[in-house]
C-alpha cells in the first residue's frame, strides 16, 4: 500500500508504517520539523519513507491507499506525563483546534482512493476532537464508514469501534483513532 502521513514529524508513525507499506509519503509543513523527519527516516526508516515539506491543507499526492491524519490537538491524553501542559491549555483553544482538525480532514479526504482508508487520530481525550469530530465528518461524507481494525484488543475499542485509550483505565497516555473506509 501507499500511505500518506499528513502530519508526520518527528516520524515515529512513518517509520513504523514503512516496515509494512510499499511507500510512505511523510509530510510536514514546517521546514525545521521536516529536517528532523528526514533525519529520523534516514536513521531508523526502511527506505520506503519519503519526506516532503507540505501542509495537510494541500496534500502533495494523488489518491493513495491509506491516509493517516494524526491531527494537531490539545494533547490532553498526555497530561499525566506532561503535567505542566495543562496550564498551557485554555478553554477557548478547543474551538480553534476543532476547526483546524475539521479543515485538515476536509483537505485530505480527496486523496483517499475509492476503497481506501482514512485514519484519524489524536492524543486528546476531548469528545469534540474525537468522537464528535468523526461523527460530523461521517455526516458530511456518506461515502465513508467506520471500519474497526481486528488487530486491536476489544478492551481498547469504544462501542463505535474506535481506538480509545484512557490513562486512568489503561495505564498509558490517552489516544483516539478511527479507521474510516471510503466506499469502493
Q: How far apart are CA 19 and CA 138, in angstroms?
A: 30
Q: How far apart are CA 81 and CA 78, in angstroms?
A: 5
pLDDT per position as a tens digit, 21-73:
999 999 999 999 999 999 999 999 999 999 999 999 999 999 999 999 999 99
Would you tell me how many other CB atoms lie within 10 Å of the CB of residue 7? 20
Which one is catalytic: 7, 61, 73, 123?
123
Confidence at residue 88, expressed as pLDDT on a 0 to 100 scale = 77
The three-state secondary structure class of 144 is strand
β strands within the chain, DSSP E: 2-5, 23-28, 49-53, 64-70, 112-122, 144-146, 163-165, 175-182
pLDDT per position as a tens digit, 62-108:
999 999 999 999 999 999 888 888 787 887 899 999 999 999 999 99
Q: How far apart are CA 175 and CA 166, in angstroms?
A: 7
172: pLDDT confidence band, cut at 50, 70 and 90? very high
The conformational region for residue 18 under phi > 0 = left, psi -120 to 50 = alpha, else beta, is alpha
Cell 496534500 belongs to which residue? 59
| Residue 123: active-site member | yes
Amino acid at each position: 500500500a501507499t500511505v500518506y502521513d499528513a502530519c508526520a514529524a518527528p516520524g515515529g508513525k512513518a517509520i513504523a508504517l514503512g516496515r509494512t507499506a510499499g511507500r510512505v509519503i511523510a509530510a510536514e509543513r514546517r521546514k525545521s520539523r521536516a529536517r528532523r523527519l528526514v533525519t529520523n527516516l534516514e536513521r531508523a526508516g526502511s527506505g520506503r519513507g519519503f519526506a516532503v515539506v507540505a501542509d495537510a491543507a494541500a496534500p502533495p499526492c494523488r489518491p493513495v491507499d491509506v491516509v493517516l491524519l494524526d491531527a494537531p490537538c490539545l494533547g490532553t491524553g498526555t497530561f499525566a506525563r506532561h503535567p505542566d501542559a495543562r496550564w498551557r491549555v485554555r478553554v477557548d483553544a478547543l474551538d480553534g483546534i476543532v476547526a483546524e482538525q475539521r479543515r485538515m480532514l476536509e483537505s485530505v479526504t480527496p486523496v483517499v482512493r475509492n476503497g481506501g482508508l482514512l485514519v484519524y487520530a489524536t492524543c486528546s481525550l476531548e469528545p469534540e476532537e474525537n468522537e464528535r469530530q468523526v461523527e460530523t465528518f461521517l455526516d458530511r461524507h456518506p461515502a465513508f464508514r467506520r471500519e474497526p481494525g481486528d488487530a486491536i484488543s476489544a478492551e481498547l475499542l469504544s462501542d463505535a469501534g474506535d481506538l480509545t485509550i484512557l490513562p486512568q483505565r489503561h495505564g498509558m497516555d490517552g489516544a483516539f483513532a478511527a479507521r474510516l473506509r471510503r466506499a469502493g
